[in-house]
Structure 1
Amino acid sequence: MASAHALNLPPVADLLDTVRVVALPMRVKFRGVTVRETAIFRGPAGWGEFGPFPEYGDVEAAQWLRAGLETAWRGFPDPVRSTIPVNATVPAVPASRVAEVLAGYGGAVPAVKIKVAERGQSLADDVARVTAVRDLLPDARLRVDANMGWGDDEAVAALTELAAFDLEYAEQPVAGIAGLAEVRGRLRDKNIDLKIAADESVRKAEDPLAVARAGAADLIIVKVAPLGGVRRALGIVRDAGLPAVVSSAIDSSVGIRAGVALAAALPELPYACGLGTLSLMEADVTREPLKPQDGFIPVRDVAVDQDLVAEFAVTGERRDWWLDRIRRTHAVLAR
């Protein structure tokens, strides 16, 4: 782990002085979340975000703090493009709600990521949801995300059926690198040409490059916060030698800005990115959210609005919980 000096780690008191904790309501439930709690803070380079999900331990959450500190204290690498293509995201909603979700993305939608393998749902539910998207957007590229929700046999059976929709790729159909390699190999044995993308096997792995060395995926999903910042994510993509899709973690526009910076700095960007999740939210910390229009997000900075921060402020015990979490994760980075 890098030293506090190498990280240019600010004193925790300086960090806590600027922390604002907010609770942002969602338009639809996503990842089981209906209200997104997150913290933002300000440094010399601007605003950063710290929003690891509540169940994450301090060591894992420390990477999210590292990423937010990079944004606020160091800023971003120079971009090589001025706009970022983005996909729409359809949560595990009933097929009847797909049109409502897609309406939030406005204008042209070049690609759609569709959640599948939701606990309590069936493959028939997944097929109905994907069918609804295809009917509404016949020309969009479709990809599915199982979030490790299937076993190996389930994944092969489900993806054999879903491949009929000419999917761009399937994201993390099973848990673990060995499972990804198994599913990928079995699909090829059946002459099903469906790319496999690794997400959790990159961002939750002790070694994010292991999936590439194992030949277990055709592309990788990279997220700034879990990987510890834009520059670390750029290094992982470079060393993996695989195409990358930049995605978000239900961030406010502050966190989305970091994802946009990563996508803007990548030498190649062959796929639309998963940075359009603000379209799933009812509120933000800025009057001009980084939402896609006509399938693109511009590379620009975010002006945090203090009135909105006050409107959605978290107070009392929940705020204290977040501040204590920041103290603990700061201590992890200072080791």
Structure 2
Amino acid sequence: MDSVPSPDLPDLATLLDAAHVVRIPMRTRFRGLTAREAVVFEGPCGWGEFGAFGEYGDAEASRWLAAGIEAAWWGHPEPVRDSVPVNATVPAVEAARVPEIVARFGGATTAKVKVAERGQRLADDVDRVAAVRDVLGPSGRVRVDANGGWSVDEALEALAALAPYGVEYVEQPCATVEDLARVRVGLARRGIDIPVAADESIRRAEDPERVRDLDAADVMVVKVAPLGGVRAAIEVIDRVGLPAAVSSAIDTSVGIEAGVALAAALPELPFACGLGTVALLAGDVVPTPSVPQDGALPVRGVASLDVDPDLLDRHRAPADRETWWLDRLGRCHALLADGRYP
């Protein structure tokens, strides 16, 4: 994937001097995590975050660092709106917990529901989606996210069972672009009107345009950090040309503000954004976290974030994890300095 030029990359010493490694517990296990670790740092334009998931290699993680540096050192494009609509995010919990979780998302009328969790059954997914539909009522929007966990046949069976609950779209039902295309065809042949959204096939792909070229999706899910920043994400959206849904990666409020900046800069914003995930954390680095009110987040900008030194100290990662993250930051910075990140 091509990168956006970085003419003013801060030197490593400056970046390390500004870095704070935090570990924040999560309210509910999500994506296999019980705590979220990240590096936050302040630059001349505000705060940035580097929180690439631990299993990602340095080449992929370097894009996340580029996104944080963009926020802190270069700033974001001017917004065209002053707030963005936000969806609730429902992990793979038992149906009885759904009302409690949706209530954390400040009046959101759209919910994204995790499905295809390893070790669970389709019946669990159906019960969870049904519970979300009950909470949101008939006018609410319900989307599901399989994170590539189904085969084509499993996806078609599951979506037939979930269709009666009015699914806005299914996010990444299968792992490959080719299988996404097969699911789209299979749904059409069965008369099931559920659009397909590509997530990993956009943000973790060498050529995200294959999603469009193979007619594999109706919607693209776009996350700032994995794509290398707001400007890089806008570039990908323009190249692929599909309607875009903006989402996040379980960030602190610092990382969420980058996602808000993208959503605020897009000429069209057809979907509620997956930017309410601070509600899944049991802490934050700011005293006024980026959680939705009346189903939306205001556009604050990274320069206005009131990152609290006491919260940075409270959530400081253990020494071994701090060393791990700072070493990783150094390796990823070297890739950016050499112009070698994907």
Specify the alignment match of 1:329 in structure 2.
Answer: 332
SS for the counterpart of 1:120 is coil
Q: Does residue 263 in structure 1 map to residue 263 in structure 2?
A: yes
Per the alignment, residue 114 of structure 2 pairs with 115
Cα offset, 1:6, TM superposition: 3.7
The alpha carbon displacement at 1:22 in A equals 0.5
Cα distance in 1, alignment partners of residues 186 and 6 from structure 2: 44
Whole-angstrom CA distance in 2 between matches of 1:83 and 1:18:
29
Counterpart of 2:101?
A: 101
TM-fit CA distance, 1:50: 0.1
In 1: Cα distance, 2:297 partner to 2:3 partner: 35
For the 8 Å contact 1:250–1:277, the answer to whether it is kept is yes
Q: Is the 8 A contact 1:146 1:174 kept in 2?
A: yes
Give yes or no for contact 2:285–2:308 (8 Å, CA) kept in 1. Answer: yes
Equivalent residue letter for 1:312: H
1:276 aligns with 2:279: no
CA contact (8 A) 2:4 2:231 kept: no
Residue identity matched to 1:80: V
Match of 2:34 in 1: 34
> Unaligned stretches of 5+ in structure 1?
none
Question: TM-score normalized by structure 1?
Answer: 0.97
- What percentage of residue pairs aligned between the two structures are identical? 58
Counterpart residue type for residue 315 of structure 2: F
Q: Which amino acid aligns with 2:177?
A: I
* Residue 7 (structure 1) shift: 4.0
Aligned-partner Cα distance in 2 for 1:88–1:4: 31
Give the whole-Å Cα distance in 1 for the aligned partners of 2:75 and 2:171: 30
Between 1:203-212 and 1:116-125, the stretch displaced more is 203-212
Distance 1:308 1:331 in 2: 29
Equivalent pairs, count: 334
Distance apart, 1:100 and its partner CA: 1.3
What corresponds to 1:89 in structure 2? 89
Q: 1:264 to 1:145 in 2, by over 3 A?
A: same
Q: Deviations over 1:262-308 (max 9, x none)?
A: 00000100010000001111100000111001100000132111110
Residue ranges of structure 2 left out of the alignment (5+ in a row): none
CA contact (8 A) 1:143 1:167 kept: yes
Per-residue CA shift, 1:110-164, capped at 9, x if unaligned? 2000000000000000000011111111121000000001001000110111111
Q: Does the 8 Å CA contact 1:19/1:41 hold for their aligned counterparts?
A: yes
What's 1:318 paired with?
Answer: 321
For 1:56, the equivalent position in structure 2 comes to 56
Structure 1 runs, 4 residues or longer, greater than 3 Å off: 1-7
How far apart, CA to CA, are the structure 2 residues paired with 1:4 and 1:244?
Answer: 19
What is aligned with 2:151? 151
Compute the displacement of 1:4 (Å).
Answer: 10
CA distance in structure 1 between the partners assigned to 2:259 and 2:3 by the alignment: 24
Q: Which amino acid aligns with 1:29?
A: R
Q: Is the 8 A contact 2:3 2:232 kept in 1?
A: no
